Structure 1
Amino acid sequence: MADPSTNPSLAERLRTVQAGLRPDLEVSRHTFRNQPSYIVRNPITFQSHSLSPSDYHVLISLDADKPLSRIFDELVAARRLEQDQEELFYAFVVKLHQLGFLNLPITDGKALYSRFRRRQASQRRATITGFLFWRVPLFNPDSMLVRTLRYVRPLFSPVAVALWTVLMLCSAGIIWHRWDDFKQPLQTILVAENLAGLWVLLVVLKLIHEFGHAYVCKLFGGKVPEMGAYFICFTPCAYVDASASWGFASKRQRIAVSLGGMYVESIVAALALLVWNATGPSLLNSFAHQTVTLASIVTIAFNINPLMRYDGYYILSDLIEIPNLRARSNAQLQAVCKRWLLGIRSDVLPFSPAGRVLLFLYGACSSAWKAFLVVAICAGVALKVYILGAVMAAIYGFSVLWGTVVKFVAYLGKSSETAPVRGRAIALGAVVLAGVPLMVAAIPVCKPVKVRGVVATIGERPVRAQTSGFLRQYEVVPGQSVETGSVLCTLENAHVRAAADAARAQYALLNLEADCGLAQHPTTAAIVQRRAEHVRNIMRDAQRDADNLSVRAPLAGDVIDCDANPRSGRFIQEGDAIATIASGDWIVRAPVTAQQIADARPFVGQKVRVRLLGQTSRQLAGTVTDVAEIGSAKIVPRSLTQLGGGTVAVAPDTMTAAEPYFEIIVRLDDADARLPHGATALVNLHARPQTIGTQLHRSALRFLNKLRS
């Protein structure tokens, strides 16, 4: 093996090389934070790179007729560079060559072969993981955009923007006033029968979104050389290359291009909202609701989110005037970690302290969001297709997590930068890879468990009609207190009353006949007497039916579930519910999942706090009196389901949930006698502290159980 000290440096290899700048590069000058910056764009790869004034001066100094050593000497003579920066100069030239800005012949076979092997490995990793994020260029839309620009130009005029503002205000008002109606279908929007339509709708919305970017870019004179499709988790989403906007000198124009897609998509969403507001339950109404939901949720979660390299990222980069925001924030994050963990001082980025803090926070948040997104996508796919989700998790776990760990260990153990602090670096690696996870897993955390329930009473007795009849009037209203025997409502049935009157008359006639014939015809009188007894039984039943036309309370209590606006003359069948009488202590019936049972571990006698929704300042004390041992997927209180504005997702036709729920009964200790029966209450179950490791272990087990089910 050759001695490393004998390997020639970059300066020794490149002094005699002549490198010229490509004449087709596009350069634009910008000002960021009162500092000039030069954006160099490669028209072949459509990639851009930001250069500082000093780097740009080095770039334009390159001359194909001069060797690099002569160019370096001229820069030193002009005091653009220092003599000890020779190696940095040649490294910068190599970087420009890698960016495709110039041609640089390098004859070092080992270096070329090493770079070739690294490129091959990178391509293999991209092939393995790229099937989830597959990019397919389709055509050059520039000429088509030129021909059709005059038709869409009015859409981006000041008048159109003013009308758009009014439209957005109207949309916000509709959502504000009809929020309960709008959120009700959200619980079932992802049911199986909707997925195909949502898939097609998402593709159409993203196509409209990308055309918005393209037309705004073309409006300001930029070229749009490519349009294609991204296959993200097998869902095609359109894309356009509007990177020409990076060369716009006006920050307002660059931001306008980034906002163009969301601007057009928001118009579609607002028009769909107007359709939804103007139509009743129908296929058109459902389609409009889905359009609004996709256009808003996807925009908020992806396009306008600055933590992902979509529209929001470039808007934030222009607003804070920091080009290459992702790369610089990662560099600042690494510099801070090296400084505080290893004591290694890196070159300070040319920003104010506040700017460096902003870069650090952005780098940390974007890294955390990327990890969260990968885990969420893998888990979401695994819940639908177990094998595919497991493969995705394995691929990302190996390529991302394992690759990061290997690079981290190699940096700590082999990097020349950590050589002066090797012992500290090894100790840090042990702490980060083993100590920190163990300490975090051992932290006890009290995870609050809040469940929804309905207010009820211990004794609830439904009152039903014992006789059929036409409703005459209700004598009570909901919430009214009644005593035993109080009349709740009166029914009218002429046949029942006539039967009672006829039975009474016949009974009186038979008694009179029996009394008259008792002395002269005792035998006949005895027969008549037996007939009278039979008729008396008939009369008693008929009179009971007549009395039941006045429906009375069987016990004292409060009237609930009573028709507050009865329709007079409505026919009531025998057995129909008239009202419900509630009596006894106030309770809350709350259905909870098996996961909530495991987290909270409720027990009989446990003290809890209860709050009625809509009464934020009032809390009630309660005691758990019963915990069901057998769960049921049948959810009876409609108000707890998505159909009544609740959180439990059920099938609308069967009212059954996807998992069993266990009922907990909480007796309210200090409640007064005038609570709203049937109101929704929030029960705060004081969960016992559990370590983070235990919670993660249980979450993993529950996740695996869902995959098997």
Structure 2
Amino acid sequence: MSESVFSTYWYRVAKLKPALRDSTRVSRHIYRGQVWYVLSNSLTGQNLRFNAAAYRLIGQMSGQLSVEEIWDNAGRIDPDSHPGQDEMIRLLIKLHDANLIQSDILPSTEKLLSKSGTSTSNWKQRTANPFSVRFPLCDPDRFLEKWSHIVAPLLSRGAFVAWLLIMLTALVAAGINWVDLVENATVDRLLSINNLALLWMTYPVVKVLHELGHAFAVKKWGGEVHEMGIMLLALTPIPYLDATASGAFTEKRQRIAVAAMGMMVELLIAALALFVWLNVGTGFVSALAYNVMLIGGVSTVLFNGNPLLRYDGYYILADQVEIPNLAQRSSQYFGYLVQRYLLASPAAESPVTAPGEKGWFLGYGPLSLCYRIFVLFGLIWLVSDKFFIIGVLIAIWGVISLLLLPAGRS
């Protein structure tokens, strides 16, 4: 055993007897033929993914064995993949930061376990992007539990068939009336003060229904939702709901269904709004219905449903191709290439863990960046002629979110 296996901080953790908290849930997932274990905190919804080697350590954390005993046992079971003591400490830090384990620890050890460079306070995480700040307001789980049996028929296979029929009818109606639809989508009309005010008031209402779609889908398969609040997106109040508990679902189709449910709700609302718009004269109701169509239809195609942006479509793609954290790991792979081949760093570590991932990493990162830049310049072009200051603000937001924040995180 080489000297690098040992750590100068080992004495601080060796005698601890960690145990998984009662709120910690463990689920076994298969990604690209490999076994992974997802540990989730049922109170916060936070999920962490570990390979089989790491779980051989975590699975022994019952409060009966010390860290040193757990580490020694792992070495006897599989000497070839025996982790170093620093790696064991990093594992403890990760579990501790996510509140997945508990143990009687000394203040000096608490400081060690809380010094992870990747760990930040909840407030810092929520305000990391000044153009997208989250304010949690309530725990909706009891409300969702109360109403889930009433909503359940809307999440059945029969309801899905009905949804498909409505979508097909709406597509046919949109095709027949396409000229009228396009004639109403002029820049001057869409960006008029009255219409912008109507959009500003309508958007949060549609998004509440979108988020409730996610939430009731989580409840359908036994998950919990403990956070709901308001997100200020470019100073526009938008409701959000933490549905990350679905990440612990063992079946891929369930995770995909949760991610898709919000878009399905929006598309249904957009279809119903189309039928209203086709059957009323000009006026407030017509304008409202048209804006609902834009929010639920166009924004779903360009933003929520597009896998190149980190919204619902992205999570559907990541689950479908069985590559969790696709965007983050794609960025990490390009960082690895720089360290490995430009800087010749011997410590460079590839995020590739399964066959076929490399191609996705090489393709997704550049395509995602190009599409985000395309959307950014499209928004600037759309509004700058009529609202120059807003165009400048969008440009600043783009520079911060696309360049400065990713560079700071890396």
Range of TM-score over shorter length:
0.7 to 0.9
SS of alignment partner, residue 223 of structure 2: coil
- Equivalent residue number for residue 151 of structure 1: 150
- Equivalent residue number for residue 254 of structure 1: 255
Specify the code of the residue in structure 2 equivalent to 1:36. V
Q: Distance in 1 between matches of 2:266 and 2:408?
A: 43
Q: Distance in 1 between matches of 2:168 and 2:402?
A: 44
Q: Check conservation: 1:269, 1:291, Cα contact below 8 A.
A: yes
Q: Distance in 1 between matches of 2:149 and 2:285?
A: 32
Per-residue deviation, 1:392: 7.6
Per-residue deviation, 1:126: 6.8
**Cα RMSD (Å):** 3.7
SS of alignment partner, residue 20 of structure 2: coil
Shift of the 393–12 alpha-carbon distance from structure 1 to 2, 3 Å rule, reads: farther
Q: Check conservation: 2:333, 2:361, Cα contact below 8 A.
A: yes
Shift of the 145–325 alpha-carbon distance from structure 1 to 2, 3 Å rule, reads: same
Alignment of 1:111-122 (within 5 A): none
Shift of the 116–317 alpha-carbon distance from structure 1 to 2, 3 Å rule, reads: closer
Specify the code of the residue in structure 2 equivalent to 1:9. T
Per-residue deviation, 1:185: 1.1
Q: Distance in 2 between matches of 1:25 and 1:124?
A: 24
SS of alignment partner, residue 173 of structure 1: helix
Q: Check conservation: 1:29, 1:39, Cα contact below 8 A.
A: yes
Q: Distance in 1 between matches of 2:243 and 2:147?
A: 17
Per-residue deviation, 1:76: 0.9
Q: Check conservation: 1:50, 1:324, Cα contact below 8 A.
A: no
Cα distance per residue 1:91-122 (max 9 Å; x no partner): 322332233323465627996897799959x9
SS of alignment partner, residue 77 of structure 1: helix
Specify the code of the residue in structure 2 equivalent to 1:358. W
Q: Check conservation: 1:205, 1:265, Cα contact below 8 A.
A: yes
- Equivalent residue number for residue 95 of structure 2: 96
Q: Check conservation: 1:133, 1:230, Cα contact below 8 A.
A: yes
Match for 2:354 among 337, 351, 356?
351
Q: Distance in 1 between matches of 2:30 and 2:246?
A: 15
- Equivalent residue number for residue 41 of structure 1: 40
**Structure 1 residue 240 and structure 2 residue 241: aligned?**
yes
Alignment of 1:310-459 (within 5 A): 310-344=311-345, 346-348=348-350, 349-352=352-355, 354-370=356-372, 401=403
Per-residue deviation, 1:270: 0.8
Cα distance per residue 1:560-590 (max 9 Å; x no partner): xxxxxxxxxxxxxxxxxxxxxxxxxxxxxxx
- Equivalent residue number for residue 226 of structure 1: 227
Q: Check conservation: 1:227, 1:238, Cα contact below 8 A.
A: yes
Deviates more, 1:399-408 or 1:83-92: 399-408
Gaps of 5+ in 1: 1-7, 409-709
Q: Check conservation: 2:44, 2:226, Cα contact below 8 A.
A: no
Cα distance per residue 1:128-148 (max 9 Å; x no partner): x64421212222222222322
Q: Distance in 1 between matches of 2:111 and 2:249?
A: 41
Shift of the 376–80 alpha-carbon distance from structure 1 to 2, 3 Å rule, reads: farther
Q: Distance in 2 between matches of 1:168 and 1:406?
A: 43
Q: Check conservation: 1:54, 1:80, Cα contact below 8 A.
A: no
- Equivalent residue number for residue 160 of structure 1: 159
**Structure 1 residue 179 and structure 2 residue 181: aligned?**
no
Higher CA-based Rg: 1
Q: Distance in 1 between matches of 2:299 and 2:21?
A: 41
More helix by share: 2
SS of alignment partner, residue 107 of structure 1: helix
Shift of the 285–83 alpha-carbon distance from structure 1 to 2, 3 Å rule, reads: closer
Q: Check conservation: 1:10, 1:91, Cα contact below 8 A.
A: no
Normalising by structure 1, what TM-score?
Answer: 0.50
- Equivalent residue number for residue 305 of structure 2: 304
Among all aligned residue pairs of Structure 1 and Structure 2, give the percentage whose two residues are the same amino acid: 31
Q: Distance in 1 between matches of 2:34 and 2:165?
A: 38
Per-residue deviation, 1:406: 8.0
SS of alignment partner, residue 61 of structure 1: coil
Per-residue deviation, 1:150: 3.4
Shift of the 38–179 alpha-carbon distance from structure 1 to 2, 3 Å rule, reads: same
Q: Distance in 2 between matches of 1:22 and 1:323?
A: 24
Q: Distance in 1 between matches of 2:165 and 2:302?
A: 24
Q: Check conservation: 1:19, 1:64, Cα contact below 8 A.
A: yes
Shift of the 230–80 alpha-carbon distance from structure 1 to 2, 3 Å rule, reads: farther
Alignment of 1:460-479 (within 5 A): none
Normalising by structure 2, what TM-score?
Answer: 0.83
Specify the code of the residue in structure 2 equivalent to 1:304. G
Per-residue deviation, 1:324: 2.5
Per-residue deviation, 1:205: 0.8
Q: Check conservation: 2:23, 2:100, Cα contact below 8 A.
A: no
Q: Distance in 2 between matches of 1:90 and 1:118?
A: 14
Gaps of 5+ in 2: 1-6
Specify the code of the residue in structure 1 equivalent to 2:156. S
More strand by share: 1
Q: Distance in 1 between matches of 2:251 and 2:115?
A: 42
